[in-house]
Amino acid sequence: MKMMLTGASGFIGEPVLDELLSRKHQLIALVRSAVPTRWSELENLEVMQADLLEPQLLDLRQKGIDVVLHLAAVTTQSPSQQFADTVTATSNLLSAVRQAGIRRIVAISSTAVLDYRRMGALTLIDEHAPLADGGACCDYPTSKLQQERLLREFAGEGANACTVLRPGLAYDEWRLTAAYAGICSKGIGLLASHDGEVPTIEVRGLAAAIANATERELDRWEVIHLVDDSLPRQSGYLSALQRRGLLPRLSLRLPWRVLQGLCYFAGSLFTALGYRDRLPEVLLPQGFSRRLKPFRFSNAKAKKLLAWVPGREFV
């Protein structure tokens, strides 16, 4: 099978590239930055340098592509840049896919699109969870929601099909972020304590799940959540962050409801003062619920539809 992979040089993209090549697929790796040196030694790999924000460079015709795997994403830029690199880039890619007559896409979204505020604490999160309303203009969750809408429109056309994968927090033995820890700033941390799970997924296991999705003919529109088995409790996650030196030296663990009250108070105060647009998302109700409210998470659909065996346990 011949595939095109966007975001091929990223943290998730490179393991996916290796996984697909190990399965003897032909691969076009689309990158907009420097090409890793080691790629020159890989067989069945063609490199295409292009920017998804420059549609005139995205001619996919005559390339014989069977499926496009869309991983390209940016989460650390300004809100407007996040919107451009998520929504505008996906729109441009879909235009090129349509022009080339490509019928299948597998795309990476995010569990950030869910409406955690509306769900009760310790709810089991699966693919039936409600979506957020996407009220903000350019934040990351809203950009991913709009991206999913574009992909769903594509899946509704003719014989097209799209599988959307929503992975949890990807990590490996060297990289783990403190996204679900609490408020960490300038050497001080207020950490959330609760009995919920943290939706982690080891990056090599994630790469295997993504590769499985490209090889399976699923329904025209399918959404699948990807998290590991035996997810860490909040205490285990915080301990792992501490072992890796990723928490502030001065950290205080607070019951999540206490921390929620503090965040809501601070958010309301700064909003009244006209600073809402500058607030970190954890000080806003939806952002706090997404990161620090306790939930449980299911990977049953992924294991069933993708015949996927999750990777190693969280460490």
Q: What is the DSSP string of 160-219?
A: -EEEEEEE-EEE-SS----TTTEEEETTEEEEEE-S-B--EEEHHHHHHHHHHHHHS---
The tens-digit pLDDT sequence of the chain (315 residues) is 999 999 999 999 999 999 999 999 999 999 987 888 899 899 999 999 899 999 888 999 999 999 999 998 776 667 788 888 899 999 999 999 999 999 999 999 999 999 999 999 999 999 999 999 866 555 888 999 999 999 999 999 999 999 999 999 999 999 999 999 999 888 899 999 999 999 999 999 999 999 999 999 999 999 999 999 999 999 999 999 999 999 999 999 999 999 999 999 999 998 888 888 788 889 989 999 999 999 999 999 999 999 999 987 888
Partners of 48 in the β-ladder: 30
Q: Which fold has domain 2-172+199-230+295-306?
A: Rossmann fold (3.40.50)
- Bridge pairing between strands 104-108 and 188-193: unpaired
- Tell me how far CA of residue 295 lies from CA of 89, 116, 125, 176, 220, in angstroms: 32, 9, 7, 20, 30
Read off the pTM.
0.95
